[in-house]
Chains A and B, each alone.
Chain A
Amino acid sequence: MIELKNEKVINLSLCFIYACLVIFFSAHLPLPFISVLAGLCLWNAFITGKNIAKPNAWLANILAAGALGLMVFTIGMSDTVILFVAMLLLSSLFKLLQAKNKKHYHVITTLTFFSLSSVYLFSQTIVTTLTVSGLYILNFAVLGLLESKHNLKISAKQSSKLLLMALPLAIFLLLFLPKMPAFWQLPGPKLAKTGLSEQVDPFDIAKLSNSDELVFRATFSKQPPLTPYYWRAIIHDEFNGNAWLTSDFLKYNNQQSNQNLATEQNTLIANYSVIAEPATQKWLYGLTYSTSNSKNVDANALGLLRKQSYQAKSLQYNVASYQFSVNPLNEFEQNRYTYLGFKQNIKTNKLAMQLKEQVSNEQTFYNALLNYFVEQNFTYTLTPSPMSGNNTLDQFLFENKRGFCGHYASAAAFIFRSAGIPARVVSGYLGGEYNNDNNTLTVRQYDAHAWVEVYLQNKGWTIFDATAVVAPERLNGSLSQNQELNEEFKNNLDFGLVSLSNFAAINWLRLELEQLDYQWSSWVLGFDQEKQNDFLKSLFGNKTSWLVPLFVLITAALCFAVYFIYLNWPKTKTAKLPPIVKAYNEILHWGNKKNITSTDSLSPSQQLEFMAKKKPSASKELIEFKHLFENSRYANKPFTKERKTQAKDLIKLIKSSK
């Protein structure tokens, strides 16, 4: 087999790439497995760095079998995508540990191209893209190193040159090659991150950890509607004694919304488009009663939006939001939204009855309950005291009186139902950070919220949000812009730019980065079939079907042909002149202009002497330059920096002489 020339550099570079991948995937893989991968990386780097013999095949195979077992045990078989990534990383690292010849390294580097792409399944932010691109260049450099004796720097330079050359063409192909629909449905990676969950169970939470992760962005086509924005995602219609759940009935009996009906009867509130970040859950976000005409989005009769199929990328969709219908509920619905299976919270039930006795109709009950929360000095907190038992609502309402949105929503919905008023808990997001520059609202995980929708006669579903009276600041804008809760909020936040938003410069930087991120997700990540069709139509009109492939083929062929011709163009070698000769040529040029050069073919020294005679005013400098020239050209004296400046000065003096 052909010998490897710089195996150490190759091995360490690959090891570095995999170390980066391991760090990236540490957020997605279980800790024991990640530590095995990190250990393999370190071991490999250690034995390569110290030139220790590689472990023999038996040992490596036994270890690999052990690691494989650990992998299956810790990850499980349910999430195939992460299992596949884990297998890829594990096998590449073991191969790297044992790699001896060129062929082994070839296999690893080609596999690495695949491992690097798999990062994009989990994250597509600008930072990830830049990092992966860097690693991609490094991987190419390793390929180059395998073939030649160069050092890593030259090889990296060559590979980035090649990739930079190829990139415009690749982008061109992305823009113009007709986008195909997915060949088959693939399981998506399970991303465990959202502030929402299928059940609202606030009582065992001691501290609400806030994440400033982006959830979605909404861009209003015209003037944005009035605040507050309640972004609905999930409806919880069943109470199990502690938590509010989404009943199976709602999950599976979701008839499609009758869009025409909604459009005809109700008034339009707003038109907007939303870019939702990748998430495993199917739910999407909309204001009040939402409908959508986007392809991948379903709207149901509750006015909620759902993804049609799982997609591991950000999804952009258009929404039209209407006011809720005032049609009365039918008997079935009436029963369902007032049903309470568990009635252990006796005190709360009693409170509901008391309030009901005091008021005449549903609207006044609604107001009375709001008043109750204000009068009883309830406070809003992100660090409530955990409660347990089967009367958690009683404990909250009559003992603690401190809580966050989940507590208030749970309690209020229970009270409404106890009083026989149809109610449901809705979770979603409240508010968002509005950016005036691009009419865009940015909603993050810390904007997660829960509230109650009550059915009031003649008004339809109405939002009841006790948080609104307990902490009214929470209604307008995002938590990050909220002065009073700011301190508590920031203490809860993982370290990030938002937690530093007190400093004007950092806040400005944060907003700029957000803007960039917005452009990135709407133009790069969100460039889908629909956008491509619009884009192509704007270029080619309606003849796209045959014109586009032709255009792509011709352009690609042309690019390759031009590059090929460029490569094979006979190169005229212009030997680099030594700097002193260049300086001499400059003087000669000046002499020619002044007509003081000899037409005879003279050596440079003779020519300079001739000029010195003809031009006595500059003769001293010319002679000095002659000495300099002779010294550096014939006496083998190095042309140092001092000599260079001397030559420059002399030329200046010669030229300025009269």
Chain B
Amino acid sequence: MPAKKAKRVSLFTSFKRIIFEKFLKNKHLKNSITLEHNTIYVLPSSLGWYFVIVAILNFVMGINYQNNLILVMSYLMFVVIVLAVCMGYSNAKGLTVTFDKVLPSFSPQKPILKLSLQSNSICQSVSITYNNDLKAHTHYDTISNKSISSSLLLPYENRGSYELQRIKIASNYPFGLVSVWSYLQIQTKTYVYPAHEYVLSDAHISSQDEYAQNGMAKKPGTEEFENLLIHQPEMGLNRISWKHYAKTKQLLVKDFVDFKTTNALFDFNLMTGATEQRLSQLCYLVCEATEHNTPFMLKLPNTLININTGQAHKQQCLESLSSFAGDNND
């Protein structure tokens, strides 16, 4: 029984999908939609159908008992549902939904879709649902000619790149009897980046870096301890290693380097663990390196992103990490 039911649902949904693809898609493939006569769909909602059924029952009862009062009740219900369709349509008409941007996220956070809503006449009780998912749903009681910015958490938690699915803009105004709806199909992708997994930075700085003979290019700095040098008078006292002085009576100076100047190579194959784990580690490294302004190169089994630095580079790397499909090399 459940299997049968499930099959029926899927048949219905696939039928709906076919309809959508055949007839509607081109109309809604935009980044902004203003609801008008050719983009609004109006039908009684499920409550509306119940209402119609009760109206029919009342009608049958009124006819059978030849009762004028029950008949008037029934006619009243029919008239109300037609009026509700008119009201629902003119309520939704003129609503403009514009796609602003979509903010990617790090797993397990969800990406955020930013839309702006505006209507030249007051539009009541509008709900926006992403891909028929009740969790990705927001509701607005009134929308006026002041633009409202709406953010929607997209239902993606796992790493990956996702094509944006269709967004349903619906209203059940008035009394929930009719549902007036339209779609917005935004043609863009969003990413859920891998989760951060902490990993020691210098262990993964590759020796294959052709620009540095000893594996790494160093520059005097303050962050990472490098080695001890013999103290020279102009060096000052603040970097003397007093531990050594206590042991050996020899003045030694601690030398630090900065990775800022280090060119790094982050290689998928040098990471440890399962694929997702490795991607998470790489993700951490990419973020760290960008934070410290270290130029780096990202090497994945299929892709190589050349050495660079900055936000655009970071985003490119994160996106390729997100959309990484598996190592087909081995």
Chain A residues with CB under 8 A of B203: none
* Contact between chains at B125 and A148 (CB < 8 Å): yes
Asked whether A166 and B65 contact (CB < 8 A) given A106-B50, A148-B141, A560-B83, the answer is no
Chain B residues with CB under 8 A of A149: 141
* Contact between chains at B80 and A163 (CB < 8 Å): yes
Choose the segment among B17-25, B70-78, B220-228 that binds chain A (4+ C-beta atoms closer than 8 Å). Answer: B70-78
Chain A residues with CB under 8 A of B69: 117, 120, 124, 129, 524-525
Can you name the residue of chain B whose Cβ is closest to the Cβ of A180? Answer: B63
Q: Of the candidates B67, B78, B134, B172, which one forms a contact with A120 in the assembled complex, judged by CB atoms under 8 Å apart?
A: B67
Q: Cβ of A113 < 8 Å from any Cβ of B?
A: yes
* Contact between chains at A528 and B83 (CB < 8 Å): no
* Contact between chains at A183 and B60 (CB < 8 Å): yes
Chain A residues with CB under 8 A of B175: 140, 143-144, 146-147, 159, 162
* Contact between chains at B67 and A563 (CB < 8 Å): no
Can you name the residue of chain B whose Cβ is closest to the Cβ of A146? Answer: B176
Can you name the residue of chain B whose Cβ is closest to the Cβ of A568? Answer: B90
Chain B residues with CB under 8 A of A169: 75, 79
Q: Cβ of A107 < 8 Å from any Cβ of B?
A: yes
Q: Of the candidates A2, A143, A170, A188, which one forms a contact with B72 in the assembled complex, judged by CB atoms under 8 Å apart?
A: A170
The complex places the Cα of A170 from the Cα of B68 at a distance, in Å, of 11
Chain B residues with CB under 8 A of A146: 175-176
Chain B residues with CB under 8 A of A560: 82-83, 86
Chain B residues with CB under 8 A of A539: none
Q: Cβ of A173 < 8 Å from any Cβ of B?
A: yes
Chain B residues with CB under 8 A of A159: 175
Chain B residues with CB under 8 A of A313: 65-68
> Which bracket fits the contact residues of B?
35 or more
Q: Which chain B residues in 173-205 approach chain A with CB under 8 Å?
A: 173-177
Q: Which chain A residues in 558-584 approach chain B with CB under 8 Å?
A: 560, 563-564, 567-568, 571
Chain A residues with CB under 8 A of B60: 183
Interface of B is mostly: helix
Q: Of the candidates B46, B50, B55, B65, which one forms a contact with A121 in the assembled complex, judged by CB atoms under 8 Å apart?
A: B65
Asked whether A174 and B71 contact (CB < 8 A) given A147-B176, A165-B83, A183-B63, the answer is yes
Query: Could you tell me the distance in whole angstroms from the C-beta of A111 to the nearest C-beta in chain B?
Result: 8
Q: Cβ of B9 < 8 Å from any Cβ of A?
A: no
Chain B residues with CB under 8 A of A174: 68, 71-72, 75
Chain B residues with CB under 8 A of A504: none
Query: Could you tell me the distance in whole angstroms from the C-beta of A97 to the nearest C-beta in chain B?
Result: 20
Q: Which chain B residues in 28-85 approach chain A with CB under 8 Å?
A: 46-47, 50-51, 53-55, 57-58, 60-80, 82-84
Asked whether A182 and B90 contact (CB < 8 A) given A106-B50, A144-B175, the answer is no
Can you name the residue of chain A whose Cβ is closest to the Cβ of B51? Answer: A110
Chain B residues with CB under 8 A of A312: 65-67
Number of A-B contacts (CB under 8 A): 142
Q: Which chain A residues in 279-322 approach chain B with CB under 8 Å?
A: 311-313
Q: Which chain A residues in 370-406 approach chain B with CB under 8 Å?
A: none
The complex places the Cα of A106 from the Cα of B51 at a distance, in Å, of 9
* Contact between chains at A110 and B47 (CB < 8 Å): yes
The complex places the Cα of A455 from the Cα of B165 at a distance, in Å, of 93
Q: Of the candidates B63, B70, B80, B90, which one forms a contact with A166 in the assembled complex, judged by CB atoms under 8 Å apart?
A: B80
The complex places the Cα of A344 from the Cα of B247 at a distance, in Å, of 142
Q: Of the candidates A107, A148, A567, which one forms a contact with B90 in the assembled complex, judged by CB atoms under 8 Å apart?
A: A567
Query: Could you tell me the distance in whole angstroms from the C-beta of A299 to the nearest C-beta in chain B?
Result: 21
Interface of A is mostly: helix
* Contact between chains at B64 and A136 (CB < 8 Å): no
The complex places the Cα of A501 from the Cα of B217 at a distance, in Å, of 115
Can you name the residue of chain B whose Cβ is closest to the Cβ of A149? Answer: B141
Q: Cβ of B139 < 8 Å from any Cβ of A?
A: yes
Mask: chain A, 140-164; 1 = CB below 8 Å from B; 0 = not: 1001101111000000001100110
Q: Cβ of A261 < 8 Å from any Cβ of B?
A: no
Asked whether A170 and B125 contact (CB < 8 A) given A313-B67, A528-B66, the answer is no
The complex places the Cα of A608 from the Cα of B80 at a distance, in Å, of 54
Chain B residues with CB under 8 A of A65: none
Q: Cβ of B87 < 8 Å from any Cβ of A?
A: yes
Q: Cβ of A184 < 8 Å from any Cβ of B?
A: yes
Can you name the residue of chain B whose Cβ is closest to the Cβ of A115? Answer: B54
Can you name the residue of chain B whose Cβ is closest to the Cβ of A527? Answer: B68
Query: Could you tell me the distance in whole angstroms from the C-beta of A95 to the nearest C-beta in chain B?
Result: 13
* Contact between chains at B54 and A114 (CB < 8 Å): yes
Give the interface centre of B66, B75, B121, B177 by most chain A CB atoms within 10 Å.
Answer: B66
Chain B residues with CB under 8 A of A136: 73
* Contact between chains at B77 and A113 (CB < 8 Å): yes
Asked whether A113 and B125 contact (CB < 8 A) given A143-B176, A174-B68, the answer is no
Q: Of the candidates A124, A163, A170, which one forms a contact with B67 in the assembled complex, judged by CB atoms under 8 Å apart?
A: A124
The complex places the Cα of A564 from the Cα of B62 at a distance, in Å, of 29
* Contact between chains at A117 and B70 (CB < 8 Å): yes
Chain A residues with CB under 8 A of B293: none
Chain A residues with CB under 8 A of B67: 120-121, 124, 312-313
* Contact between chains at A147 and B125 (CB < 8 Å): yes
* Contact between chains at B64 and A170 (CB < 8 Å): no
Can you name the residue of chain B whose Cβ is closest to the Cβ of A177? Answer: B75
Query: Could you tell me the distance in whole angstroms from the C-beta of A4 to the nearest C-beta in chain B?
Result: 12
* Contact between chains at B51 and A113 (CB < 8 Å): yes
Query: Could you tell me the distance in whole angstroms from the C-beta of B46 to the nearest C-beta in chain A?
Result: 8
Q: Of the candidates A106, A116, A173, which one forms a contact with B47 in the assembled complex, judged by CB atoms under 8 Å apart?
A: A106
Q: Which chain A residues in 581-599 approach chain B with CB under 8 Å?
A: none
Chain B residues with CB under 8 A of A182: 63-66
Give the interface centre of B58, B60, B67 by most chain A CB atoms within 10 Å.
Answer: B67
Q: Cβ of A59 < 8 Å from any Cβ of B?
A: no
Q: Cβ of A1 < 8 Å from any Cβ of B?
A: yes
Chain B residues with CB under 8 A of A52: none
Chain A residues with CB under 8 A of B46: 106
Mask: chain A, 88-125; 1 = CB below 8 Å from B; 0 = not: 00000000000000000011001101101110110010
Query: Could you tell me the distance in whole angstroms from the C-beta of A505 to the nearest C-beta in chain B?
Result: 31
Mask: chain A, 1-15; 1 = CB below 8 Å from B; 0 = not: 110000000000000
Query: Could you tell me the distance in whole angstroms from the C-beta of A224 to the nearest C-beta in chain B?
Result: 29
Chain A residues with CB under 8 A of B79: 166, 169-170, 173
Q: Cβ of B277 < 8 Å from any Cβ of A?
A: no
Q: Cβ of B275 < 8 Å from any Cβ of A?
A: no
Q: Cβ of A171 < 8 Å from any Cβ of B?
A: yes
Q: Cβ of A167 < 8 Å from any Cβ of B?
A: yes
Chain A residues with CB under 8 A of B82: 560
Can you name the residue of chain B whose Cβ is closest to the Cβ of A143? Answer: B175
Q: Cβ of A186 < 8 Å from any Cβ of B?
A: yes
Q: Cβ of B131 < 8 Å from any Cβ of A?
A: no
Query: Could you tell me the distance in whole angstroms from the C-beta of A164 to the nearest C-beta in chain B?
Result: 10
* Contact between chains at B86 and A563 (CB < 8 Å): yes
Q: Cβ of B124 < 8 Å from any Cβ of A?
A: yes
Q: Of the candidates B58, B86, B174, which one forms a contact with A117 in the assembled complex, judged by CB atoms under 8 Å apart?
A: B58
Chain B residues with CB under 8 A of A185: 64
* Contact between chains at B76 and A167 (CB < 8 Å): yes
Asked whether A171 and B57 contact (CB < 8 A) given A147-B174, A166-B79, the answer is no
* Contact between chains at A148 and B124 (CB < 8 Å): yes
Query: Could you tell me the distance in whole angstroms from the C-beta of A646 to the nearest C-beta in chain B?
Result: 36
* Contact between chains at A166 and B64 (CB < 8 Å): no
Give the interface centre of B57, B72, B177 by most chain A CB atoms within 10 Å.
Answer: B72
* Contact between chains at B63 and A144 (CB < 8 Å): no
Q: Which chain B residues in 73-111 approach chain A with CB under 8 Å?
A: 73-80, 82-84, 86-87, 89-90, 93
Q: Of the candidates A114, A116, A148, A311, which one forms a contact with B66 in the assembled complex, judged by CB atoms under 8 Å apart?
A: A311
Given contacts A117-B61, A146-B175, A162-B174, 10 further A-B contacts (CB under 8 A): A110-B53, A147-B125, A148-B125, A170-B78, A182-B65, A186-B64, A312-B65, A313-B67, A560-B83, A563-B86
Which residues in B have some Cβ–Cβ distance to A below 8 Å? 46-47, 50-51, 53-55, 57-58, 60-80, 82-84, 86-87, 89-90, 93, 121, 124-125, 134, 137, 139, 141, 172-177
A/B interface sample: 14 pairs, CB < 8 A: A1-B134, A2-B139, A110-B53, A114-B58, A120-B69, A121-B61, A121-B65, A121-B67, A163-B80, A173-B79, A174-B75, A312-B66, A524-B68, A560-B82
In the A-B complex, the 3 residue pairs with the closest CB atoms: A170-B75, A567-B90, A166-B79
